[in-house]
């Protein structure tokens, strides 16, 4: 194929992004709702379309979208990890030119409306928090890796957080504190060993452990809190090889009112936007199988 000498196509993937799928399970009068966004990508031998525009191997992105919907109709959605695996396997099993697939699924939460006369409603729902459950399923040939997570789990402690003992170096202006507001919008992803798990149960457990550790850790640094959260998860879930966190330190600054004779005993705070601290780390199991390249392409560190 005609291209400049010494230049070639490297890693590539293509697909349909953000396929918005709402599935209603109407098998009983008490409806179940599943609200997801699926980004489907295929990996394989697609050099021809890049080099000459020959599309004879290209499974159109529209076809990928239709497949997502059709598989949801045929098998429902269920845990997003299973759904991602199902879609990835469909493509890799069916098309010889497709050697791999990456399925990224996000799930948005809904709760039943609690009515004043009849309690929880059968088919009326209210959107939950901004928190999003995520998964990235990567399949290369027979190798399947599932990395699940959540993002925008926004938490705050109004006390029980200190920050001091850091060195006073050039350009340091921060003052030590033994009582500050600690707030973050937690993004986390954890890599599973194996692909046969009770995904929903583990997700609920991991999330609860994070909240428990965030709440119970008397924090000397956001790093310490982060590590406690990750260590808790790895200790409790042997099926998780590794967990990564990206935790912004959403600064709350105590407002100085002393000019006007007012004290401020940690009551009135200014919630700043930017800049913000950013703490990112992975906690790993020593005997974890290698990750391969599955983290590459994840949006940011997490």
Nearer to its own copies by C-beta: 25 or 198?
A: 25
- CB contact set of 234 (below 8 Å; sequence gap of 6+): 240, 242, 243, 283, 284, 285
With H, G, I as helix, E, B as strand and everything else as coil, classify residue 143: strand
- Is residue 35 a contact point for its own copies (CB under 8 A)? yes
Which residue's structure tokens are 């991602």?
84
Q: Report the nearest approach of its own copies to the CB of residue 35 (Å).
A: 7
- Is residue 103 a contact point for its own copies (CB under 8 A)? no
- Is residue 204 a contact point for its own copies (CB under 8 A)? no
- Is residue 96 a contact point for its own copies (CB under 8 A)? no
- Is residue 177 a contact point for its own copies (CB under 8 A)? no
- Residues in the interface with its own copies (CB under 8 A) total 149
Q: Which stretch binds its own copies (CB under 8 A): 65-73, 133-141, 143-151, 193-201?
A: 65-73
Separation between Cα atoms, residue 141 and residue 14, nearest integer Å: 17
Separation between Cα atoms, residue 292 and residue 299, nearest integer Å: 17
Segment 237-296, which members bind its own copies (CB under 8 A)? 242, 244, 248-249, 252, 255, 257, 259-260, 262, 264-287, 295-296
* Known active-site residue 225: no
- Is residue 195 a contact point for its own copies (CB under 8 A)? no
With H, G, I as helix, E, B as strand and everything else as coil, classify residue 108: strand
- Is residue 20 a contact point for its own copies (CB under 8 A)? yes
Q: Rg of the chain over CA atoms, in angstroms? A: 23
Query: How many beta carbons lie within 10 A of that of residue 127, not counting itself?
Result: 10
Whether omega before 255 lies within 30 degrees of 0, making that bond cis, reads no
- Is residue 95 a contact point for its own copies (CB under 8 A)? yes
Separation between Cα atoms, residue 267 and residue 257, nearest integer Å: 11
Query: How many beta carbons lie within 10 A of that of residue 153, not counting itself?
Result: 21
* Known active-site residue 50: no
Nearest to 60 by CA among 103, 96, 16: 16
Q: Which stretch binds its own copies (CB under 8 A): 81-89, 136-144, 193-201, 211-219?
A: 211-219
Active-site pick, 61, 63, 99, 154: 61
Active-site pick, 90, 139, 140, 251: 251
Segment 225-244, which members bind its own copies (CB under 8 A)? 226-227, 231, 234-235, 242, 244
- Is residue 201 a contact point for its own copies (CB under 8 A)? no
Nearer to its own copies by C-beta: 51 or 194?
A: 51
* Known active-site residue 123: no
**Residue in 45, 93, 96, 115 binding its own copies, rule: CB under 8 A:** 115
**Residue in 45, 52, 143, 194 binding its own copies, rule: CB under 8 A:** 52
**Residue in 143, 194, 201, 215 binding its own copies, rule: CB under 8 A:** 215
Separation between Cα atoms, residue 29 and residue 122, nearest integer Å: 7
Which residue's structure tokens are 């199902």?
86
Cα within 13 Å of Cα(88), Cβ side = 28
Residues with catalytic function: 16, 61, 251
């Amino acid at each position: 194929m005609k291209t400049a000498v010494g230049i070639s196509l490297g890693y590539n993937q293509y697909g349909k992004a953000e396929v918005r799928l709402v599935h209603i399970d109407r098998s009983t009068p008490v409806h179940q709702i599943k609200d997801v966004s699926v980004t489907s990508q295929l990996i394989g031998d697609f050099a021809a379309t890049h080099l000459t525009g020959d599309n004879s191997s290209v499974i159109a992105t529209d076809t990928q979208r239709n497949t997502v919907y059709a598989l949801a109709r045929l098998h429902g959605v269920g845990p997003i990890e299973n759904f991602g695996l199902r879609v990835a396997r469909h493509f890799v099993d069916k098309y010889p030119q497709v050697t791999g697939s990456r399925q990224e699924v996000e799930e948005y939460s809904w709760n039943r409306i609690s009515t004043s006369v009849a309690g929880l409603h059968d088919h009326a729902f209210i959107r939950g928090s901004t928190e999003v459950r995520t998964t990235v399923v990567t399949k290369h040939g027979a190798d399947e890796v599932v990395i699940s997570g959540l993002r925008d789990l926004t938490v705050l402690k109004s006390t029980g957080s200190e920050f001091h003992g850091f060195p006073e170096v050039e350009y340091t202006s921060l003052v030590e504190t033994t009582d500050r507001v600690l707030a973050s919008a937690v993004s986390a992803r954890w890599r599973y060993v194996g692909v046969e798990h009770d995904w929903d149960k583990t997700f609920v457990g991991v999330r609860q452990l994070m909240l428990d550790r965030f709440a119970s850790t008397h924090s000397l640094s956001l790093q310490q809190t982060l590590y406690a959260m990750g260590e808790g998860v790895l200790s409790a879930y042997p099926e998780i090889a590794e967990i990564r966190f990206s935790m912004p330190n959403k600064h709350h600054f105590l407002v100085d009112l002393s000019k006007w004779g007012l004290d401020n005993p940690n009551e009135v705070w200014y919630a700043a936007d930017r800049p913000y601290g950013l703490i990112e780390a992975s906690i790993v199991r020593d005997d974890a199988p290698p990750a391969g390249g599955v983290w590459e392409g994840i949006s940011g560190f997490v």
